[in-house]
Amino acid sequence: MRRSDASDLWWKNAVIYCLDVKQYLDDDADGSGDLQGLVRRVDYLAELGVSCLWLMPIYTTPGRDGGYDVADFYGIDPALGTHGDLVEVIRTARDRGIRVILDLLVNHTSDRHPWFVNARRSRNSRYRDFYIWSDEVPPDAPETMFPGEEDGVWEWDEKTEQYYSHSFYHHQPDLNVENPKVRDELAKVIGFWLEVGVSGFRVDAVPSFVSRTDGDSGTSERDHRVLQSLRQFAQRRSAEAMLLGEVNLPYDEQKAYFGSDGDGELHMQFDFVANQALYLSLARHDPGPLITALQSRPELAAEAQWGIFVRNHDELTLDQLSDAERREVFDAFGPQEDHQVYGRGLRRRLPPMMDGDPRRVRMIYSLMFSLPGTPVLFYGEEIGMGENLDIDGRMAVRTPMQWNHDGGFSLAPPSRHATAMTSGAYGPRHVNVEEQISDPDSLLHFVRSLAQTYRRSPEIGWGELAVLDPGCDGVLVHSCDSDVGRFVGVHSFADEPRTVRFDLGEEPDGVSLVCLADGSTFEPLDGVVELDLAAYGARRLRVCRPGDQRLR
């Protein structure tokens, strides 16, 4: 499919920005961020180059899992605002060319959700089959996702004397998506928020959603029909609706969640395989693991896309690496016990993991905006925020946004803040928007430039990946080639300078290369490009063929 034939596939060249409303900006000085505060920062996001805003859960919640324990799929947490406030966010964002997507929680509810409250009153409740129950704990029950925090995935209910399944926390009972009534309710939820004006959803923990669990035997199997039906419903309601799925599986299993011809499922998935390989490559100063991952990517349909990310709102999971590989990454970037969580991941942000080395940080973000796919930023990445390890678990990376020297998140005293600020070298006195926005050499301006040049380079989002021989070790050279042009990225993982020499292959006479960072132009010699790279150096280049009239 040519890009010109699929202009409605907006997610193929989006810049997605994930934020927790509660941590972004407090408008009413109660110590918690809110939707009215977010409205005041939409212009900031537009100037950054964001074209899609992903809001972490804003639903009514008891607040025991960062909002992922939903008590009302149609409600908005009163601490964040009202439906009117959300509509104002959506309207203001739309005026700036930014779409809004919401988290869609399809695995479970809070144990305070009216469905579950009713279900545990009696085994004869009309909502009983909205959840999964068993008289005994199945012999082959899977392990909990949160070792050290949960003992298992079955919880005893004294009222009705049965166990209920919870793949996550015990206060989040699993929904029984095999029940057609549950599927209908989830479709209504999707339909409601599409009518409110959102452009799609980030679908949480998709493999758990499509796994059917038998309460008697404890066995499970994949059933993709429910995901197919939800996509079909969403697209009937809105032609622009997009589903971005969290599917942390190997590529051969992950491909199934894109669906097949005629049975589409997710439009986008996060590339967890490449993300984990990236950190192994960084630990080794060798792009080899990342190259292996990228070359193993399955071929996708034209409308499908990978979401490229450096960090997200959870732990940096490394569960697809071997034990030895994971230990390499731990030793390099999280050697202390309180850096690690669940035995599989790190609860740190990128700059502290890189010891604050701006060369490495910038190279990594340059790479994120260069790989074929759609870049996904987590709030605060654009200024180099750090984590607060005094906060338990993976919540350590979800600290208030740092707007100025004093924090600028809220007018309430720090003692009333819902979450403590990051302190020390990565606290607001050293890392904040106000100082960086006036400094053209700051990380904020660098990321802004990456986002803006990415949006002017559709070949990155649409292009076909090819890895080129760099003529030296420690460097990744790749190209993204599409019908609208060709992009070349050169990124060094080495801590010493490198001279890179690579062949562009078949290109017409008169071809030149434009550096997207500064607009400078040079011509290859007989199709061969030679570049000198500093340690952790990076170059982002557009191949300009004769007659190319695109803006640089």
Q: 46: part of which helix (H) or strand (E)?
A: helix 42-48
Q: Please give the full DSSP string across 293-355, using - where no structure is assigned.
A: HHHHPPP--TT-EEEEES--SS-EE-TTS-HHHHHHHHHHH--SGGGEETTTEE---HHHHTT
Instruction: For residue 367, report the phi and psi dihedrals to the nearest 5 degrees.
Output: -65, -40
Of 233, 170, 162, nearest to 200 by C-alpha is 233
**Per DSSP, what are the bridge partners of residue 407?**
404
Which two three-digit tokens encode residue 454?
């990415």
> Which letter, b or e, does each residue of 489-526 get, where b requires 16 or more Cβ atoms within 10 Å of its Cβ?
bbbbbbeeebebebebeeeeeebbbbebeeeeeeebee
Dihedral pair phi/psi, residue 382, rounded to 5°? -65, -15
| Residues paired with 307 in a beta bridge | 270, 374
Cβ-based neighbour number of residue 332 at 10 Å? 16
- Show which residues are catalytic: 204, 246
Q: In this structure, what DSSP letter does residue 119 have?
A: H
Q: Look up tokens 């390499």; give the residue.
A: 328
Q: Which of 205, 204, 170, 208 is nearest to 64 (CA)?
A: 170
Tokens linked to 347: 């609860």
Ordered DSSP codes for 281-306? HHHHT-SHHHHHHHHHPPP--TT-EE
